[in-house]
Structure formats: structure tokens, C-alpha cells
Structure 1
């Protein structure tokens, strides 16, 4: 493996995640073969609602367990989570400066069924990178390696329970900041809907 950074693939990952992508753009390797870890950003994200931080979780089928490879985890549609997520996003950001500008780009992901969590995450990530005007050199793992050499391993560093580097990120205007204060390290869509084409400079 060449020198670079090793990352998991997140569901609408936080700013810290995209900051790492921006600053290691020469060689980014995404993990496809890790065993599925529960309660991580792989199937959850956080947005800024009128009542503060709101967590959104993509449900996975009950067969997913710690021995299931991340690329094989299937999304559950037993409950209409897509409608809940999209309505929550609309309610939280419809008054933001750039929601209407990007709305049509994100809407299809919440109106069509994607079988695998990994495919949903990659599709959303590719869209966010396009909107951020980031064009990193990306590849994907073909096998799981517990300890890697010549790579910065962030598979477990960027998570809801891990120490965060988000304090190094620039604050920016948020729609409900006057009511709730600034909430750092939310989903990348919080930055995009509030700052639009200027988002890249905040990473």
C-alpha cells in the first residue's frame, strides 16, 4: 500500500471526516471489508434542528452483526426512515441559504431504495465531494488488514464516541445558532446548506 489515509465510508459524514479527505486528497483508501461496527457514523449522522442536535439513523436488516462485512450490510425498509430523514432535513434547512440550491441533488437518495448501506454511503459521499469541489484520489480495500503500514488509520478515530479534531474547524453561520448556539462537527450537509459554494474553505 502507498502512503495515504484509510477511512471508513460514512452516512453523510461529519465535517471532521471531510476535512481529513480534503487534507489527504492525494491518496485516500476507503475500507470495504471491515466487520460492521454498530453505533457508528457508518449508518448515522447528526443535523441541526430547531430543537438542537438531531441524530438520524439508517436501520439495517437484523442479519447484520459484528461478523458481517460492511459492504454486505443491507438496509431495512420495514419503517419509512427515508421519509423521516428527508422531512427532518427539509424542516431543519428549508430556511438556510442554499437548501433550495442543493435540494434536487439530495432528494433522489431519499425516494429510491438502495439495497446496501455501503452503496448508499458511497453515492452520498460522491455527491458531497462534487458539491465541495473536491476531487481526491480514491481507492477501496480488497481485504481487511487489522494493522496497516504507511497509512494513517482513521477507521476508528472519527466516531461519535472518539476524541474529535473538530475543534480545529472554523465555525460558520447555522440557521438555529441564535437559539441553540453553534453546534460543531455536524453532518457535511449542515455546512453545505448554510454556506454553499464557500463550504470548502471551512474544512
Structure 2
């Protein structure tokens, strides 16, 4: 699963209608709606949009025939395995009717080209894990944690006997990391999984 690293745009003309696709990463519905409002052009005939955030999604045909704009745009998002993304395709009508199939290709295609050209970053699902290690093990543990792919050290605090590390462990890596920490510290590390 991926999301966008930064906003992206794509513009094209299809049978004298101008299409402008704009996409951005978003964290929640409020951010998606704010982006839609921000980039919608008042002088355009249609500002169609779609967004997906986890299992939640919405789309709008904004006056185009039902199912010809928003849904193909959502399919463009899903077709590229994207999440946390909003796309707005603005159309300035050029006088030539495109028909239902033409509209679906135009809106879905503009959204897909915009997303294809965008810089993406991989989404890594992480589980929280808290580890307490003594001072004698701390340097060795921290050095080895740097080599664990996609692991995040989200906080580090010190106590009388050592340090408490709050970690974000990539999905599927909890057991192997717990084994690594236990082996590195000869069982001295206190490991606590968040529920």
C-alpha cells in the first residue's frame, strides 16, 4: 500500500474540454474536504472528486451523469494501491459531448495519469512496543535497532537503571524483534506489547 509523498497535478485536453487533475495525500475526511474546496475552480463546469482513507471513501460526479466521473476516479486510486489520497478533476467544457464512456475514460484517465506521475511513499503499518533495557545493553540494542527495516524509535526516556524505548514495529515483525532483543540482552530486556 502506498500514499502520495506530495501533491501532484496533470492537465490534458480531450475533444476541446480541458481537464485538470489535482491529487494530494490526506490523513482524514476533513483534510480531503478542505483540499477539494481549495482546488475546485469556480469558473469550471464540473469539479469532480474522489478520496480513500483506509476503508472510508467518497466520490462525487458534480453534475456529470451518475457514475461517469467520481467512481472511475476512485477506481484509479484503488487501481494503484493508494490510501490516504484525494483527487479532484476539474473540467472546462469545450462544446463536444463525450458520452458516458468518454466521460468515464476522461475522468478516470486524468486521475490515473496524475497519480502515476506523483511521487509515492510506502505505507508501513506498525505496532507499538515498549522495551526497557539496562545501561549495559543500551548501546548494543540501539545499534542493532538501526538495522531493522522500517522500525521507528518513537521515544526514548531514561530511568535509574537504563532506558525505556518506545518502538513502532513493522507489521509481522513483533516476534522476531522480541527474539532479537531477548538474545541481545540475555533475557534482561523488559518487553511490553501495547494492546
User: By the TM > 0.5 criterion, same fold?
Assistant: no
**Normalized per residue, which structure has more helix?**
1
**Normalized per residue, which structure has more strand?**
2
